[in-house]
Chains A and B, each alone.
Chain A
Amino acid sequence: MAFFFFLFAIVALAGAVGVVVLRNPFYCVLALVVHLIALALLFLLLEAQFVAVAQIIVYAGAVMVLYVFVVAYVGGGDKPAPLWRATARQRALAIVFGIAVFVELMIAVLGTSLKALDTHGPHVTVGYGSPGEIGALLLNRFLLPFELASFLLLVAAVGAVALAGRRGGIPEDEILAPERTVDPSHRLSPSAMPASAGSMAEGVAGYGVTQPLPAPSDEVLT
């Protein structure tokens, strides 16, 4: 158990470090996928089967696909912006802040009066964390949060469509292909084209404008 805990924890933390330090946003998303899968395995060690599976399906599946699409759409990988633009002071301050928060959290964890933190937790029943128990809790005790969450999802979906919809974004003349300007004197009359223009023979053998079509011979057919 301890081996698996440390294995998954190290993978999850490595993924988190990758998200923070990798320069290409696409690689950041991939690092987050690694992190999320390792985290789902940690959830399994905590006997939360349903949350672990939901984590993989919702996060590592749906949300990450959304991220990948937006990264591919917006780009940003072609000209990687500098991780911090000549403001080394801000970077140092951020790291100092991070260390301060971590020390504070460690003081809170180690100095707590919750004696149960140093145990493995009480013995749990068989159905703990199973979809059945989660569903019963959601529909009995937590019905109101459940409905509010679904309503929040609806609002977010409508809001995302309204935000990302084509509204005052790219001007109309850039969406449409520019009108092709052809000099009238160069416009070809239908008779100026050889008979084989656009035919399969032109595509295969290059016949057409310069070479006349060979006379059809019977030996090809036989």
Chain B
Amino acid sequence: MTISWYLVVSSLMFVLGAVGVLIRRNPLVVLLCLELMLNAGNLALLGFARMWANGDGQIFAIVVMVVAACEVAIGLGIIVALYRQRLPVDIDELRELHG
């Protein structure tokens, strides 16, 4: 398949993730949708790396995976802390940042 097909799939995944971030209310699912968007970026990066036939894009994709893993660790830590504080695990109810 030509590279542009991969970009089409990547765009669809990114849009699905963005819509999920906008309409879902559970912060866990919002994090999952963020993962979708990051993976869409990874697919596009690998497609471009294939287009140029060098490994720079693959290194970029690996760095994106590392950043995504960090985001997951911090995000899940925040959710667990919210749950411990007896705060509602619902992004519409969480309007204030004070601990």
Contacts and interface: CB of A to CB of B under 8 A. Distances in A.
Chain A's interface size range is 35 or more
Majority secondary structure, B binding face: helix
A124 B2 CA distance: 15
Contact of A159 (B22, B77, B92): B77
A187 interface: no
B60 to A, nearest CB: 9
A42 B9 CA distance: 10
A169 interface: yes
A90 interface: yes
A94 B42 CA distance: 23
A152 B69 CA distance: 10
A128 B81 CA distance: 43
Majority secondary structure, A binding face: helix
Contacts of A85: 25, 92
Contact of A157 (B50, B59, B71, B73): B73
Contacts of A123: 53
B65 A55 contact: yes
Interface of A: 1-2, 5, 9, 12-13, 16-17, 19-20, 25, 28-29, 32, 35-36, 39, 42-43, 45-48, 50-51, 54-55, 58-59, 62-63, 66-67, 70-71, 73-74, 76, 81-85, 90-91, 93-95, 97-99, 101-102, 105-106, 109-110, 114, 116-124, 128-129, 133-134, 137-138, 141-142, 145, 149, 152-153, 155-157, 159-164, 166, 168-170
